[in-house]
């Protein structure tokens, strides 16, 4: 009997075959589906790439889930964000350039000042010098941190303060030798910063008891005195190349960038000579501002004014090289000297002019800036500002005008017991009345 003669049997057989075929097809498509899906996604991405002009990977990266419910505490080796400075040394440099409104209005020239009193270690331009001297000494193997090494320096204050701060921050001890007639604020601050302070009677540089010579001797005696493997390092700010190069590498470039090279004159005093030489070398030699006038601001009693103006360091009764009395006969601390240092000589040929500032002018300027601008400065900053005004007036007479840049070295807080006490004793803290700045300073317009 054939299947064709029995329709019901034929139909049943067809259903069985169709069902079996369906199962086989389904199983086969299941194995084939992932490959088809991949090809579909590839074609889709290729079309998108053609439309939007970019290539995409054929495979999507695995999704990684992150837990944002718990705060992440950075470890000591975690990368530091660029807005966070590392250590107190990270607060040195990039100080603001501020326009002194009353001086600019009085002279008709823009007078701006580099606010070096805002340096974050010792609050003076000596922060730059102290840091650079330490870093150079470390590279040369003269200092090893956390080994008991001691930094010795002869200073009238600001460099010692900067060295004391950075010594503690970088693992050293600090021993400062300074004249006994310096303001007590500096002495007390050095003590609080953990430095050993050795005060000596003022003496000429030719004497072994001069504060600089004493610091050198203390450094030489260190190894034999302590006998613990530690080293004594004499910073030697007056002669060290690291002094002027610190300003050549940092202060000069900052002044140039902040003014965009628009500078008619740069005015600065000189103690060691590092600031004026470093900035002068950068502006005149490195970036080629040949027309910028470099002006020395010198207090009374200092010989540098005569050296720049007349080529010989002398006063009315002394010849160069014969001075044997105290360093400088002035109320001003930090600038003014009667010998040539290596740092000053480095930039001396680039100095175009010098202005002598009396103690009275400096004190009147300091008081003027408090009254008119709310700026409270020390003696060397006041000398710089008087010389900046005088320079602006000269430029105006010559028909040049332009921007005059000077330096605010430190705050008046370090000069209360000497400079500001003298201002008060002379009655200069009273209102100036109707006197103008030029009349007050006895300068001709």
Per residue in 412-423, pLDDT tens?
A: 999 999 999 999
Q: Is the dihedral of CA 114, 116, 120, 126 positive or negative?
A: positive
pLDDT exceeds 90 at position 327: no
What does each C-alpha distance from 39 to 36, 42, 44, 45, 59 come to in angstroms? 5, 5, 9, 10, 11
Of 41 and 306, more confident: 306
The 10 Å CB-count burial string (b at 16+, else e) for 339-357 is: bbbbbbebbbebbebbbbb
Packing angle, helices 359-373 and 379-397, rounded to 10: 90
Please check whether residue 156 is in contact with residue 202, taking contact to mean a CB–CB distance below 8 angstroms.
no
pLDDT at 63: 52
Task: Summarize the confidence of residues 250-254 as an average pLDDT.
Answer: 98
Q: Which CATH code is given to the segment(s) 143-229? A: 3.40.50.1100
Look-up of token digits 């200069």:
428
pLDDT at 154: 97
Three-state DSSP class for residue 266: strand
**Facing residues of 179 across strands?**
200
d(CA 184, CA 253): 35
pLDDT exceeds 90 at position 147: yes
pLDDT at 372: 96
Instruction: Kindly state the tokens that stand for 323.
Output: 């001075």
* pLDDT-based confidence at residue 357 (cuts at 50, 70, 90): very high
pLDDT at 79: 75
pLDDT exceeds 50 at position 57: no
Please check whether residue 159 is in contact with residue 130, taking contact to mean a CB–CB distance below 8 angstroms.
yes
* pLDDT-based confidence at residue 157 (cuts at 50, 70, 90): confident
pLDDT at 82: 76
Three-state DSSP class for residue 51: helix
* pLDDT-based confidence at residue 430 (cuts at 50, 70, 90): confident
Backbone φ and ψ of 50, nearest 5° = -65, -35
Average pLDDT in the chain: 87
Q: Which CATH code is given to the segment(s) 89-118+249-314+328-439? A: 3.40.50.1100
Q: Is the dihedral of CA 404, 410, 413, 417 positive or negative?
A: negative
Lowest mean pLDDT among 76-85, 136-145, 412-421: 76-85
Is residue 417 part of the annotated active site? The answer reads no
For residue 351, give the nearest of 361, 362, 340, 364 by alpha carbon. 340
pLDDT at 329: 74
d(CA 400, CA 168): 48
Q: How far is CA 203 from the centre of its chain?
A: 32
Percent pLDDT > 90 in the chain is 72
pLDDT at 52: 43
Contacts of range 213-219, beta carbons closer than 8 Å, 24 or more positions apart? 213/154, 214/154, 214/177, 215/152, 215/153, 215/154, 215/175, 215/176, 215/177, 216/152, 216/154, 218/152, 218/175, 218/177, 219/150, 219/152
pLDDT at 359: 97
Query: In this structure, how many other beta carbons lie within 10 angstroms of the beta carbon of residue 172?
Result: 25
| Cα atoms found within 13 Å of the Cα of residue 132, Cβ hemisphere only | 24
DSSP string, 198-245: EEE----TTSTTSHHHHHHHHHHHHHHHH-SS--EEE--TTT-HHHHH
Global pTM exceeds 0.85: no
pLDDT at 398: 94
Per residue in 97-126, pLDDT tens?
A: 999 999 999 999 999 999 999 999 999 999
Query: In this structure, how many other beta carbons lie within 10 angstroms of the beta carbon of residue 367?
Result: 21
pLDDT at 189: 95
Of 445 and 409, more confident: 409
pLDDT at 155: 95
pLDDT at 160: 96
Instruction: Kindly state the tokens that stand for 244.
Output: 């002027």
d(CA 387, CA 434): 22
| Catalytic choice (114, 126, 186, 284) | 126
- Which residues of the chain are in CATH 3.40.50.1100 domains? 89-118+249-314+328-439, 143-229
pLDDT at 170: 97
Please check whether residue 260 is in contact with residue 287, taking contact to mean a CB–CB distance below 8 angstroms.
no
pLDDT exceeds 80 at position 74: no
| Catalytic choice (380, 381, 390, 418) | 380
Per residue in 164-198, pLDDT tens?
A: 999 999 999 999 999 998 889 999 999 999 999 99
Task: Summarize the confidence of residues 300-318 as an average pLDDT.
Answer: 83
* CA triple 393-397-400, angle to 5 deg: 90
Per residue in 358-385, pLDDT tens?
A: 999 999 999 999 999 999 999 999 999 9
Backbone φ and ψ of 61, nearest 5° = -70, 155
Instruction: Kindly state the tokens that stand for 427.
Output: 């009655």
Of 8 and 386, more confident: 386
Is residue 124 part of the annotated active site? The answer reads no
């Amino acid at each position: 009997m054939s299947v064709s003669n029995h329709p019901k049997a034929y139909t049943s057989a067809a259903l069985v075959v169709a069902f079996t075929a369906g199962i086989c097809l389904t199983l086969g498509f299941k194995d084939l589906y992932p490959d088809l899906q991949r090809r579909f996604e590839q074609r889709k991405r290729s079309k998108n790439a053609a439309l939007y002009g970019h290539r995409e990977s054929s495979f999507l990266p695995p999704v990684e889930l992150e837990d944002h419910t718990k705060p992440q505490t950075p470890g000591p080796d975690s990368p530091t964000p660029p807005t966070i400075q590392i250590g107190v040394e990270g607060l040195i440099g990039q100080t603001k350039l501020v326009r002194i409104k009353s001086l600019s209005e009085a002279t008709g020239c823009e007078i701006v000042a580099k606010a070096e009193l805002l340096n974050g270690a010792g609050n003076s331009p000596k922060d730059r010098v102290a840091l650079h001297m330490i870093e150079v000494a470390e590279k040369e193997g003269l200092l090893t941190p956390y080994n008991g090494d001691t930094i010795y320096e002869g200073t009238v204050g600001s460099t010692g303060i900067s060295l004391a701060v950075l010594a503690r921050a970088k693992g050293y001890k600090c021993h400062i030798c300074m004249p006994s007639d310096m303001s007590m604020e500096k002495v007390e601050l050095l003590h609080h910063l953990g430095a050993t302070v050795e005060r000596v009677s003022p003496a000429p540089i030719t004497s072994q008891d001069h504060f600089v010579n004493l610091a050198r001797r203390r450094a030489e005696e260190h190894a034999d005195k302590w006998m613990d493997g530690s080293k004594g390092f004499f910073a030697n700010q007056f002669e060290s190349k690291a002094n002027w190069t610190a300003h050549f590498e940092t202060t000069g470039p900052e002044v140039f960038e902040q003014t965009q090279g628009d500078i008619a004159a740069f005015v600065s005093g000189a103690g060691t000579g590092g600031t004026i030489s470093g900035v002068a070398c950068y502006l005149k030699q490195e970036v080629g501002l040949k027309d910028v006038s470099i002006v020395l601001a010198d207090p009374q009693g200092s010989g540098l004014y005569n050296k720049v103006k007349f080529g010989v360091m002398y006063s009315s009764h002394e010849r160069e090289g014969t001075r044997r009395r105290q360093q400088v006969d002035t109320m001003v601390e930090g600038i003014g000297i009667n010998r040539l240092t290596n740092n000053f000589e480095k930039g001396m040929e680039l100095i175009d002019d010098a202005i002598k500032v009396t103690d009275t002018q400096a004190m009147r300027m300091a008081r003027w800036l408090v009254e008119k601008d709310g700026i409270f400065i020390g003696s060397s900053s006041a000398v710089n500002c008087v010389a900046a005004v005088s320079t602006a007036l000269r430029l105006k007479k010559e028909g040049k005008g332009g921007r005059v840049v000077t330096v605010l070295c430190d705050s008046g807080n370090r000069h209360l017991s000497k400079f500001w006490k003298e201002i008060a004793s002379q009655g200069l803290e009273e209102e100036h009345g109707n006197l103008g700045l030029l009349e007050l300073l006895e300068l001709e317009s």
